[in-house]
Amino acid sequence: MREMIAGGELDYVTGDYLAELTMLILARDRAKSPDRGYAKTFLTQVEESLGLALERGVKIVANAGGLNPAGLAAAVRTLAERLGLAVNVAHVEGDDLIGRAGELGFGSVLSANAYLGAWGIVDCLNAGADVVVTGRVTDASVIVGPAAAHFGWQRDDYDALAGAIAAGHVIECGVQATGGNFAFFTEIPDLLHPGFPLAEIAADGSSVITKHAGTGGLVSTDTVTAQLLYEVGDARYANPDATLRLDSLSLSQDGPDRVRISGVRGEPPPPTLKVSLNSIGGFRNSATFVLTGLDIEAKADLLRRQLDAAVTVKPAELEWTLVRTDHPDADTEETASALLRCVVRDPDPANVGRRFSSAAVELALASYPGFTTTAPPGEGQVYGVFTPGYVDAADVPHVAVHADGTRTDIAPASETLPLEPVAEPSPPEPFTAAATRRVPLGTIAGARSGDKGGNANVGVWVRTDDQWRWLAHTMTVEKLRELLPETAELAVTRTLLPNLRAVNFVIEGILGQGVAHQARFDPQAKGLGEWLRSRHIDIPEELL
């Protein structure tokens, strides 16, 4: 935060602190004490930055309030008083629906938070707030709010609002927009210390994504494309204030480390708000066995049968995964070894605790040759389950609470538009070539993947029009299932985004019940796109 405020001209510094997993962590924190439930790291950053922000007239807007925005606002005031600073701190609340979970049909959950929009932030800023903290607003709302307040946008300025949503979606994950986690990472200068992105937003909602001068990393149409494809669904990207049409925007290089986002169209928001629901799923434990050398499959089979017989009280879930990291005739023991992982889950901690751990350990002298584990099995640990819910926007309070305690109720959107799939555009003319070469898809294509609850998305893009003509016809749902066999039995949808030369896939259920469920060894699907890029495919030689 201090780097951004000190590094160059800035009107607002914003931050998104609330990943789906974070909400579960904060819910468990609040369960220990009602005074907790917000992101304490925010206070550390504010302590370093608040004096400089006030001196330079930079306002701070963040959703770090989590499940306790009022508590965080009070903590910021206490901090400012200790620092001898006069500061106007406001907060936004109403998203926390835990007290009404039963009434709203969400069942027994640990947390239930609706994704609010930007207008509570707008009200706080218009009333003179220097710092605005919120609970669960959408990631982009902390950017949309300052822009709407600055330009005086109205609630039906959908194109402008959608433009700010696009800018917010690009910068919400920090240096992912300046080269972090980027498919073509070897092209990025100075990834040791990449600069954070900033958005210069104009009155019409168009924007330029850039970064402070002299910082590392890169802002290019490719780095911005990668972030636009991150954790999205179809061509409609819904927010509580407007729905962004991802298929409308265009990107252009506007100078070194400057990318312009233009042509954005927006629509009225949907009539419902998404709700983040977290609950305790039960208890889990795991053991990872190292299988070295010959007969890997037979060793794995023996251990499975032995452990199954030794665990007399079967847990509700027992999953085995054999990871063939071994190589024939390997010159190190590590590269001669495969990993066999066993994960157990059960509502009763006794069924996945010592009962499971002891059964695994007691096989140590009676199983396959070379028996060893990566770590001793321990006690069962609690795990969470994320579930998305939906509620009529009119049923959710949205309240701006000002520094003097006055409260402003924010009305829900008066105009809404239910979400419907967008008709797929006609693909471009296919690219045909006589000669092809079998190489990794990532030779020409970038990808970015991520989680949305139990689903995952993989966005794939290319850099030239001819490559796009090939990609649009080649990367079908059937081809994705062929390249990623783990998706073969899952529902997959595809969206073409011609302006980005991109195709986006949403894979349903591949992450089980969300990141805390740990259904895969990559529980947030962050590496799914890189797996896809590594698969070999026939590409026309002219495109290489």
Q: What is the DSSP string of 102-167?
A: TTTT--S-SEEEE-B-SHHHHHHHHTT-SEEEESSB-TTHHHHHHHHHHHT--TT-HHHHHHHHHH
Distance of CA 468 to the CA centre of its chain: 26
Give yes or no: residues 213 and 300 share one domain.
no
For the segment 365-383, the average pLDDT, to the nearest whole number, is: 90
The domain in which residue 321 lies consists of 281-385
Establish if 378 belongs to a structural domain. yes
pLDDT in tens, 441-452: 999 999 999 998
Instruction: Look at residues 267, 292, 315 and tell me which one is the last residue of a structural domain.
Output: 267
pLDDT at position 479 is 98
60 assigned to some structural domain: no
**451 and 516 housed in the same domain:** yes
Task: Output the average pLDDT for the chain.
Answer: 95
Other residues' Cβ atoms within 10 Å of the Cβ of residue 543: 20
Per-residue model confidence (pLDDT) at position 160: 98
pLDDT at residue 347 tops 80 = yes
Residue 415 within a domain: no
Residues 212, 415: Cα–Cα separation, whole Å: 38
Q: Are residues 532 and 463 in the same domain?
A: yes
Mean pLDDT throughout 286-298? 96
User: How many angstroms separate the CA atoms of 53 and 125, rounded?
Assistant: 15
81 contact partners, CB below 8 Å, separation of at least 6: none
Asked whether residue 521 is assigned to any structural domain, the reply reads yes
pLDDT at residue 351 tops 90: yes
**Claim to verify: residue 464 and residue 527 sit in the same structural domain:** yes
Query: Is the domain of 186 the same as that of 252?
Result: yes
191 with 241, same domain? yes
Q: Is residue 307 assigned to a domain? A: yes
The number of beta carbons lying within 10 Å of the beta carbon of residue 415 is 11
Q: What is the pLDDT of residues 143-167, one digit of tens each?
A: 999 999 999 999 999 999 999 999 9
Q: With 70 as the cut, is the pLDDT of residue 90 above it?
A: yes
How far is CA 174 from its chain centroid? 12
Query: Which stretches of 289-353 are DSSP H helices?
Result: 296-310
Residue 263 structure tokens: 């042509």
Tokens of 7: 């590094």
What's the Cα-to-Cα distance from 233 to each of 238, 246, 269, 434, 497, rounded to whole Å?
Answer: 9, 10, 15, 35, 11
- 495 in a domain, yes or no? yes
Contact 169, 251 (CB under 8 A): no
Same domain for 440 and 539, yes or no, is: yes
- Do both 263 and 285 map to the same domain? no
Domain presence at residue 199: yes
Per-residue confidence band for 383, with pLDDT thresholds at 50, 70 and 90: confident
Last residue of a domain, one of 366, 385, 404: 385
What tokens were used for 521? 């060894």
Residue 503 domain flag? yes
* pLDDT at res. 57: 97
Helix or strand holding residue 148 (H, E): helix 141-151
Task: Please tell me the total count of domains within the chain.
Answer: 3
Q: Are residues 234 and 319 in the same domain?
A: no
Give the CATH number, domain containing residue 319: 3.30.70
Residue 414 makes CB contacts below 8 A (sequence gap 6+) with 155
Over residues 27-58, the pLDDT tens digits come to 888 888 888 999 999 999 999 999 999 999 99
Residue with tokens 């009107």: 11
Of residues 29 and 471, more confidently modeled? 471
Sequence-distant (≥ 6) Cβ neighbours of residue 283 within 8 angstroms: 345, 346, 347, 348, 349, 351, 352, 353, 380, 381, 382, 383
The pLDDT, as a whole number, for residue 516 is: 67
For 292, the token pair is: 């070295």
CA nearest neighbour of 476 among 530, 427, 412, 533: 427
Same structural domain, 287 and 333: yes
- Reported confidence tier of residue 379, pLDDT bands at 50, 70, 90: confident
CB 209 within 8 A of CB 163: no
How far apart (Å, rounded) are the C-alpha atoms in residues 114 and 104?
12
Handedness of CA 462, 463, 467, 468 (dihedral sign): positive
Same domain for 454 and 520, yes or no, is yes
Which letter does DSSP use for residue 374 in this model?
Answer: S
**Which of 378, 331, 385, 333 is CA-nearest to residue 353?**
378
* Of 267, 293, 317, the domain-final residue: 267
